[in-house]
Structure 1
Amino acid sequence: MKCEICECREASVHFKQVCNGQVREMYVCEECAAENGFDLQSPLSMPDFLFGAGLQEEKRDATSEKTCLICGTTGKDFKKRSLLGCPSCYEAFADELSPYLRAMQKGSRHVGKAPAGEALNAEIAALQQALERAVSAQDFEEAATLRDHIRDLKAKLDGVGGGE
C-alpha cells in the first residue's frame, strides 16, 4: 500500500483514530511520519494527542509559550504533566483544547448528570408551587395529594443522601 501523504513510498506506519464511533485510518511511510512530527519510538502521551503530535514543531511551540495568568501553568507544563493547573487554564488554552474536546466527545461543554438528588429537588420545588396554587384555589383534595407526594419525594431524597 502506498503512503497517503507522499504517494511514492510504501506505507509502513498505520495510524488509527476512533472518534464518536467513527474510525479514521491513515497509512504513511516512516519518512512522512517523521516529517510530520510523529515519534515512532514511543506511544503518544495524552498532551501530545491533545495538542496534535502530527503538527509541525513551530505550531506546537506557540502552544508551549502560552501561560495561564492565574496559576502560571504553561503549555509546556501541561504537555509534560498531562494536567492543567486550575480552572482558568481551560480558558488560557481554549483555542487548543476545544477542537480536541469536541472530537473526543459530543462537545466542549460539560452537560453530564446532575448531582444525586438534584432532579428530586427540582420536582419537589415544582410540586410545592403547585401545592400553594391548590391551597389558594381552595382545592384541598388536590393540595392533600400534592402534600403526600412531596412527603414521599422528601423521604426518597433522604435515602439518596441529598436531603437538606
Structure 2
Amino acid sequence: MLCDDCGRKEAVVHITQIGANGRVEKHLCESCAAGYNDFVPVQQDGRHVSVDDFLRGIFGSAQGQENKASGGTGELSCPHCGMSYRDFRQTGKIGCAACYDTFRGQLEPILRRIHGSSVHRGKIPHRSGGTLELKQTIAQLSQQLKACVEQEEYEKAAELRDKVRALKQELQQKEGGQDHE
C-alpha cells in the first residue's frame, strides 16, 4: 500500500483517528509520518518521541507487569542463543534446545494445555521397541532404587534391585548377549 500523502513510498505507519467527523484512516510512509506532529507524542521537555518508543511505553508497561507477576525483574533470555521469551511469544518458535530449560517455567503450562503433558512420549519403532522400552523401565527403576536408598527404605530398594537385575538379563538376551551396563 502506498503512502496517502506522497503516493511514492510504501506505507509503514497506519493511523486511525476517530472523532466527531467519523473515522479517518491515514496510511503514511516513514518520512511523511514524521511530519504529522498531531499523532507523534511530545515529551514535556519538547523532544519528539518516536512511534516505537511510544508503543513500547504503552505495551512495555503490560510486559513489566507480566515480568513482576512471573517473579522476574528483567527479561529472561536464553544464554545459548540469546532468544528472549518475548521473541518466542512473537514467533511461536524456540531458538535452540537450551531454550526449553531456560523458559521451562513459562513453557510447561503451555505444553500441558496443548498436548496434555509436558513430557515427550513419542512412538517407539517396532524393531527396537522392545529393547528401548526395557531400557526406559530400567532407568526409571534405577532412579526409584536410588531414591529408596537415600530414604533408607532398604526392603523396597532390595525389591527394585532384583527387578532391575531381571530386566537387565532380559535386555541382554534380547540384544544377543551383548553387555550394555
TM score, norm. by length of structure 2? 0.34
Point out which structure has higher relative CO (alpha carbons under 8 A, 6+ apart): 1
Query: Which structure's CA Rg is the greater one?
Result: 2
TM score, norm. by length of structure 1? 0.37
